[in-house]
Amino acid sequence: MKAMVLKRIISLENCATPLEKADLPKPAPGSGEILIKVSVCGVCHTELDEIEGRVAPRQLPMVLGHQAVGRVEARGPEADGFSLGERVGVAWIHSACGQCGHCLAGNENLCADFRATGRDANGGYAEYMTVQAAFAYAIPAVFADAEAAPLLCAGAIGHRSLRLARIEDGQNLGLTGFGASARLVLKMARHRFPKVKTFVFARNAEERGFALELGAVWAGAPEEFSPARLDCIIDTTPVWTSVVEALKNLRPGGRLVINAIRKEDADKDALLRLDYPSHLWMEKEIKSVANVSRADVSEFLALAAGIPLRPEVDEFDLEDANRALVELKTRRVRGAKVLRIG
Ligand SMILES: [Zn+2]
Ligand SMILES: [Zn+2]
């Protein structure tokens, strides 16, 4: 089968083609697993973290990609829940131990032994992949394959972020960074909480314009003071500056939810500007969002189908995965990037 594989950890600044075309054996589904013929796979910022070593794969070579949509081609022994030909999606969590306290509480996203799709097990930048049937999701009929892919990661984690932010209708929501996840959060927040006002902080003028088009009441640069104090802010940037700058805009008792798997080190000195009275005093909270649980993905797919929430997507051929990754790194904005495979 055709695949794009990562063979070595490297910075995209030094290498614009980190993934190599490969012909790999078609995987066989093991016990409890399904074999999926992949149709599309979303391109996520986490792939940049994997390639550049901040979230390095456990072994190399590795097929990246954790927002895969395809059809069930075969079932291993004891793989229940899906019929042959059924459309399914695979998200970041490829498996978890199933026995620890976190798993038993439905928080397999916090399991110490969870394995990530495209990091610890081959993912969706390939014609075929396998996953435990219990970690695959039926895709609501309302979505085209390419529309569903970004919902599996950016959308589901946006849903978890909104939940952890504990936003209530009528409050002020801040978004720092305006990539695929933040755009879905804005659309979802407007639908679920019609009286919430959203304030967007983005470095890029085009992104700020896009935020206003999508219904933000204000959009400004990350350093700016928002015109009103914010009840909660969701940060989806890879940098530290946005964290420090966001805190000054929180109201007393407000919370900052950081939705980023890793922060880059380039602007780490921004943390030295942290000023206790203006950034943290008055019971301001900071919390991170780690991965997504299966319940987050299922709940979010159902919510998104009910709206329906359709992400804008830019499609690339599988062979053009490197170009999609470089564009993601250099922040050329607009749609969520999706690789077309099948
Ligand atoms: Zn992702
Ligand atoms: Zn566990």
CA of 104 to the centre of ligand 2 (A): 7
Q: Tell me which ligand sits closest to the C-alpha of residue 67.
A: 1
Q: Which CATH superfamily is domain 156-288 in?
A: NAD(P)-binding Rossmann-like Domain (3.40.50.720)
Q: Is the dihedral of CA 215, 221, 224, 229 positive or negative?
A: positive
CA of 110 to the centre of ligand 2 (A): 7
Token readout for 157 is 């984690």
CA of 150 to the centre of ligand 1 (A): 8
CA of 196 to the centre of ligand 1 (A): 26
What is residue 262's predicted lDDT score, i.e. its pLDDT? 83
Residues in the chain: 342
CA of 12 to the centre of ligand 1 (A): 18
Q: Which CATH superfamily is domain 2-143+310-340 in?
A: Medium-chain alcohol dehydrogenases, catalytic domain (3.90.180.10)
CA 335, chain centre distance (Å): 14
Q: Quick one: DSSP state of residue 320?
A: G
Token readout for 96 is 């978890």
CA of 68 to the centre of ligand 1 (A): 11
Domain ranges in the chain are 2-143+310-340, 156-288
What is residue 261's predicted lDDT score, i.e. its pLDDT? 82
Q: Tell me which ligand sits closest to the C-alpha of residue 289.
A: 1
pTM value is: 0.90
Q: Tell me which ligand sits closest to the C-alpha of residue 109.
A: 2
Q: Give the C-alpha separation, 22 to 203, whole Å.
A: 37
Token readout for 39 is 């149709």
Contact of 37 with 71, CB cutoff 8 Å: yes
Q: Would you write out the chain's pLDDT as a tens digit for each of its 342 residues?
A: 999 999 999 999 999 999 999 999 999 999 999 999 999 999 998 999 999 999 999 999 999 999 999 999 999 999 999 999 999 999 999 999 999 999 999 999 999 999 999 999 999 999 999 999 999 999 999 999 999 999 999 899 999 999 999 999 999 999 999 988 899 899 999 999 999 999 999 998 999 999 999 999 999 999 999 999 999 999 999 899 999 999 999 999 999 999 988 888 899 999 999 999 999 999 999 999 998 999 999 999 999 999 999 888 999 999 999 999 999 988 766 789 999 998
Q: Tell me which ligand sits closest to the C-alpha of residue 103.
A: 2
CA of 132 to the centre of ligand 2 (A): 15
Q: Is 233 helix (H, G, I), strand (E, B) or coil?
A: strand
The CA-atom distances, in angstroms, between 122 and each of 125, 134, 156, 188 are: 8, 17, 21, 31
Q: Quick one: DSSP state of residue 269?
A: G
What is residue 147's predicted lDDT score, i.e. its pLDDT? 96
- Count of C-beta atoms within a 10 Å radius of residue 225: 10
Residue 196: closest CA among 224, 218, 225, 177: 218
Q: In this structure, what are the phi and psi dihedrals at residue 149, rounded to the nearest 5 degrees?
A: -55, -50
CA of 325 to the centre of ligand 1 (A): 13
What lies within 8 Å, CB to CB, of 101 at 6+ separation is: none
Q: Give the C-alpha separation, 316 to 318, whole Å.
A: 6
What is residue 333's predicted lDDT score, i.e. its pLDDT? 64
What is residue 14's predicted lDDT score, i.e. its pLDDT? 92
With tokens 């003071």, the residue in question is 225
Q: Give the C-alpha separation, 24 to 27, whole Å.
A: 8
What is residue 332's predicted lDDT score, i.e. its pLDDT? 67
CA of 46 to the centre of ligand 2 (A): 22
Outline where DSSP puts E strands in the chain.
Answer: 2-6, 19-23, 33-42, 62-63, 68-75, 87-90, 93-95, 115-116, 128-132, 136-138, 172-176, 197-201, 218-220, 230-235, 250-258, 285-288, 313-317, 336-340
- Residue 286 exposure: Cα atoms within 13 Å on the Cβ side: 13
Q: Quick one: DSSP state of residue 108?
A: G
Largest CA distance in the chain: 60
Cis ω on the peptide bond leading into residue 61 (within 30° of 0)? yes
Q: Give the C-alpha separation, 97 to 78, whole Å.
A: 18
